[in-house]
Structure 1
Amino acid sequence: MALRSFVLQLLVTLLTVRAVTVYNQEPIAHVQTLSAQSVAATASGTSAAPLASHTGYKAYDPMTLTPPELPDPRPATQFNVQLQNSASNVQGLSIFQSGAFFGFSIETSVINQVLGKNSSHIQVPFLNLISLVAQRAGRFHIRIGGNTQETARYVDSTPDGRMIEKQGVDPNNPTATPALVYTIEMFYLLANISSLVNVKWYLGIPLNDTSDLRLEIAEYGQAIIGDNLIGLQVGNEPDLYQRHAKRPDGYNAQSYFDEFGQVIKAMESNPKINRVNYLIGPSIAHADWTPDQVWETNFVPAYSQYLSAVTVENYPSDNCAAIYAGVGTLKVPQNEYYKYLSHDAPNSGKAMIQKFLSSSAYVQTQGKPFMMFETNTASCGGLPGISNSFGAGLWALDYGLQMAYSNFSHALLHIGGQDVYYNPCTPPPTGQSTFHEWTIGPIMYSILAVSEALGSSNQSQVIDLFANGDNPYTPGYAIYERGTLARVALFNYMTDQTGLSDYTASISVGGSVLNQPNGTPTSVKVKYLRAKSVADHFNITWAGQTFGGIFESDGRLKGEEVIETITCDSTNNTCQIKVPAPGFALVFLTDAALQESSPKPPVTFATTAQTRTINTATVDTEVLATSNGHSGRSRQKGSTSKGSSSDAMGISSVVPSLTVLMSLLGGVLVLVKAFSR
């Protein structure tokens, strides 16, 4: 009876508890406190809450912004797009591109959340998501790395048998990024994923201590992942090493050049490593060095035989001041929103890559692919109401096609844990995985749309159409495949439910196609990416299908696919394509182009395995802690990304979620029942 009384008393305590203390993790419920943060209802009628109202994980923040006002004057709502059918008649086309242009950059510390607990328990929703892209693009590229790769090290086993674990913080490390240990299970996990879906991997060699290079990542990567390991990154944002006290004063591009050479020598002298010709660098953030300073060291030609790709990393903005007190200027998301919502806005892809265009051209002369190795809407986890909105989906889609047009070969969108806004996909918190599904962000739709726009032939070429008089609210691209016009991509950044800002593009094709002298087909097929407002988080559809809302996705598209057939005007030789405000239209000019981008039936995965069979009150602090994509541009301490810092190992007081309390309650009720018998 005494035990029963104790348990009942514990029940009462749980129901009245107001806070718990969690050690060794970043706060899971960071609240931004900004004056004038209350934002009005969006054009779709969704009420917008004050920024400080959400006290849960950032990935599920419902804060909704107000779309920017319509431009004055508005763009023309009827304009012509005259195209040539043959690529040989078009000047300025990109290099050949792959539908696998977009991939994921996944922070090493969260791979057990995103990929799977271990090689036997792979996340099925993740498999379904990447399968959707791989079926359209032929393959999918994933980088495992980021801030935590620099201190990661291999161990034969961990005390509790986990695949990865975070260790204590190095007091001499101003980034406060906890050291990460991993076991051989990580490599088998990646290999098993590739056995199910055609995934190619990039891994990172730690460069925090060149006197003790840890090359197990290359040894086991080659032995277990094999040919599906296509790149080893040497150093993550080395232009920030000095600022973050990872190197002494005077560390510069030449210093990195020398260290890259050290890694090559160490790998060549290691009998367990049989390949050294797929290294990746310099992966700078364009922060304290420029790419030109690296090229001046003769980096690319000197290491050409070892380089599989030349890489950079960049974010257009940051949200660091909201996380780290006294660092930079606090950004008001509503005031930042317009910077993402046009083709040439300050944070647009077009504006962002201007500083890399000369590097892209230079790397082409060296015969190497040029990659954006890590990017997303904003570092330090993204911006609430922006990074998780449909507007960010349009931004990423435009950004991807603009990079393809500018001769980048691939771009990897970063994924962190639950405490970031910008994830393309987010698994539920560990304690909720038995009853909640995944949450899919707007950027995942962008990845799908880009893969369909470029196709799986690896012979697509892209050109910016400078459509509608180069109006920034109505940009467009043409995609040529195997030398022939295949698809047209049209954007509308405006939000206007009246329909008055919808536009119609009249597409005409010169040259001969389908035995028609004028070249304009008799009909075209169109897929639409739609939402009612750029501010919407969910209620997004791609060709009529959706991933659903918060905690609603198993990684498969839901609903019936809707592909619209537009009959063209044979008299005027035009195809009238209407694009809603907001929205995106992908126009397929041939049935072959459509079939290539619309695989049927889709490959999906199922499982009968469960990592937990009952609800539990256990909260894995290693899984919950994040240090992902923090790349702020003005801080003097931070993660390995620009100017960032992490207080992930500090002591934080957080309010337990209802889910955790209910799980605790369930467990106690079981005890009560057991001891009442």
Structure 2
Amino acid sequence: MKPTRFLNSLTLLLAGNARALNPIPLSPQTPHNASDALLRSFVSFSIELWSFPDFAGNLSAPNTFSYDLLRNIGEIRGDNPIIRIGGNTMDFTIFDPNQREALKGNYTLNITRDYPFSISMGPSFFESYQTWDNFSFIHGFNLESNDTKGYHTLVETVPLMCKALKGNRLAYWQIGNEPDLFKTFFDRRPAWWDEEQFAREWLSKTRLIKELVRNSCPEVIENGKYMFYAPAFAAGPGNTLNISKAFDGGLAEDDNIAFIDMHNYISGSTVPGVTLANTLMNHTSTVHSVNKHLNQSAHLSYLGIPYILGEANSLYGQGASGLSNSFGAALWGVDFNLYCAATGIRRVHMHQGTNYRYASWQPVQRANVTKGTKAPYYGNIAVANVLGDISRNNTRISNIDLASDHETAYAVYVDGKLARIALLQLSQYNYTSNTTNQPATRPNSTFIFQVPQDSGVKKIFVQRLMANGSDAISGITFDGYSYNYELDEGKPVLQNNITRGESILVGEDGLFDIDLPWSSGAVLHIN
């Protein structure tokens, strides 16, 4: 045996002995550090405006693959995800009432090939909002354009949105994507444009929209549904506006902000030193990223407005191949979403786009990207299973601190009682690698838990999130099911070669244990 592999084996043995002496205690009732009751649609999505016709299709050719994938999550959770349509391209889009195409764009290839920087929108764009039954949407309006074209875009598209999102299709409103970067990128605002100037502009345009709504769909105002996600700050590199100062500047004076909306990415796709093991599959990295929002939400708690992440994913810049599209990124997504839920982030919208490396699925066939389900989607499915049917129960979640970079656990309580445990082993195991730093065979970690002897818990049922390794981009399953497009267009298909239906007996002393291979996860259901 090579020395490095011997040391790895010894480390695993010592860790296992330590756990045997110190099992992880589980509270049978909701502990004091648990979250508030989770909101419906905690697991939600954001879709780049430029990509939305690809994801949803139109009335003559709806994208049923996307619909099936989203409905899978809705069926597990008891309600469908809320879909936000926005991203950078919402502020690059001008309306053309005479355009036949939904969208047309001009690319600036020396900056990015992922989306155009100049986009025209035709009336047919709004057909895409009508292809998915029983889903509600947030349409992102253009804040950046201050000229006559920008004004007419608002005036002409609000009535179309009212028509497309009538009934229960309207969730909330939004105008502007990451305005805290307007001065940093492409000089879209002058140097003197500060938080108060932003707040005044935002209020002016939302008041204009309200008058347009009053004329086109007054029932929205009458039913109390003229409410916004705001301010949609990036809160990352290049940020030039402070959220606290924006609210001090009067942003909330019209009392029409339903959720404080901020964005989050762990790091960037081209940032030096970003790796799967140390950036994504690292619980401490995730904690540091989310905790900055906890500090902000604490400072803003006096407003009494819930704090959410209206756009989030792994690496800004649309992700990186080999990192954001891997099974390791799916595991990161589980840890990230559950840590957000456990610490008071009230909803997370995972951002999507055509050809985006971090996307949960590719909605259409492209020259270099195959239509299909991608690794991060399995993380979305796992999170939905961990949280369960929020629509019918009081569901709360707590972080079980294992004091580890690569092992995490969460406990879910339903109506006050322990219902599920989420468990992640984030140590990197690349099945395509044969380096001396990696064990010859895939290691397991043993987790030993203890419930009180009088808890009545007798058996644990297990669902596993599995792939061949952290670098896998295919062959991924949750509880033995694949959601691949080529099997049944995204609907769950049971795989015969995957073990499922696993159960664990709880000892009379309240102890039970489970082995997790490196780079895998499990959901434990308490019976």
Q: TM-score, normalised by structure 2?
A: 0.84
Write out aligned runs for 1:12-51 (5 A).
Answer: none
Distance change (3 Å), C-alpha of 1:71 and 1:149: farther
Partner of 1:478: 411
Is 1:272 equivalent to 2:216 in the alignment? yes
Deviation at 1:155, TM superposition (A): 3.2
The count of residues paired between Structure 1 and Structure 2 equals 481
1:535-581 CA distance string (max 9 Å, x none): 111121110122349x7772122224864342423322223222221
Larger Rg computed on CA atoms = 1
Write out aligned runs for 1:163-562 (5 A).
Answer: 163-166=102-105, 177-193=116-132, 195=133, 198-210=134-146, 212=148, 213=151, 214-215=153-154, 216-226=156-166, 227-244=168-185, 245-270=187-212, 271-274=215-218, 275=220, 277-286=226-235, 287-300=239-252, 302-303=253-254, 305-320=255-270, 331=272, 335=275, 337-345=277-285, 349-418=286-355, 420-430=356-366, 438-458=371-391, 459-467=394-402, 470-495=403-428, 501-510=443-452, 518-548=454-484, 554-560=489-495
Structure 1: gaps of 5 or more residues = 1-68, 170-174, 321-329, 511-516, 591-677
Which structure has more relative contact order (CA 8 Å, sep 6+)? It is 1
1:66-85 CA distance string (max 9 Å, x none): xxx96995582345221222
| Residues 281 and 428 in structure 2, CA contact (< 8 A), matched pair in contact too | no
What is the identity, as a one-letter code, of the residue corresponding to 2:70?
I
| Separation in 2, partners of 1:441, 1:461 | 29
Partner of 2:15: 76
| Separation in 2, partners of 1:188, 1:350 | 40
| Residues 428 and 438 in structure 1, CA contact (< 8 A), matched pair in contact too | yes
| Separation in 2, partners of 1:177, 1:407 | 36
What is the identity, as a one-letter code, of the residue corresponding to 2:483?
F
Percent of pairs with identical residues: 19
1:480-519 CA distance string (max 9 Å, x none): 1222211100110124576774223233333xxxxxx711
Moved more, 276-285 or 444-453: 276-285
Deviation at 1:429, TM superposition (A): 2.8
Distance change (3 Å), C-alpha of 1:238 and 1:70: farther
| Residues 267 and 273 in structure 1, CA contact (< 8 A), matched pair in contact too | no
SS in 2 for 1:93: coil
| Separation in 2, partners of 1:538, 1:528 | 16
1:384-419 CA distance string (max 9 Å, x none): 21111111111111000011112111112222222x
| Separation in 2, partners of 1:500, 1:431 | 36
| Separation in 2, partners of 1:444, 1:500 | 24
Structure 2: gaps of 5 or more residues = 1-6, 109-113, 430-438
Relative to its length, the structure with more strand (as a share) is: 2
Distance change (3 Å), C-alpha of 1:293 and 1:255: same
Of 498, 521, 525 in structure 2, the residue corresponding to residue 584 of structure 1 is 521
| Residues 439 and 553 in structure 1, CA contact (< 8 A), matched pair in contact too | no
| Separation in 2, partners of 1:309, 1:205 | 17
Deviation at 1:221, TM superposition (A): 2.0
What is the identity, as a one-letter code, of the residue corresponding to 1:278?
M
What RMSD, in angstroms, separates the aligned Cα atoms of the two structures? 2.8
| Separation in 2, partners of 1:395, 1:217 | 38
| Residues 525 and 565 in structure 1, CA contact (< 8 A), matched pair in contact too | yes
Deviation at 1:153, TM superposition (A): 3.0
Moved more, 384-393 or 453-462: 453-462
SS in 1 for 2:267: coil
Write out aligned runs for 1:101-140 (5 A).
Answer: 101-116=42-57, 118-137=58-77, 138-140=79-81
Moved more, 97-106 or 453-462: 97-106
1:343-369 CA distance string (max 9 Å, x none): 113xxx212112111222345543322
Is 1:156 equivalent to 2:89 in the alignment? no
1:568-612 CA distance string (max 9 Å, x none): 23322223222221211101113xxxxxxxxxxxxxxxxxxxxxx
| Separation in 2, partners of 1:218, 1:453 | 38
| Residues 266 and 280 in structure 2, CA contact (< 8 A), matched pair in contact too | no
1:149-176 CA distance string (max 9 Å, x none): 1132333342xx322222587xxxxx99
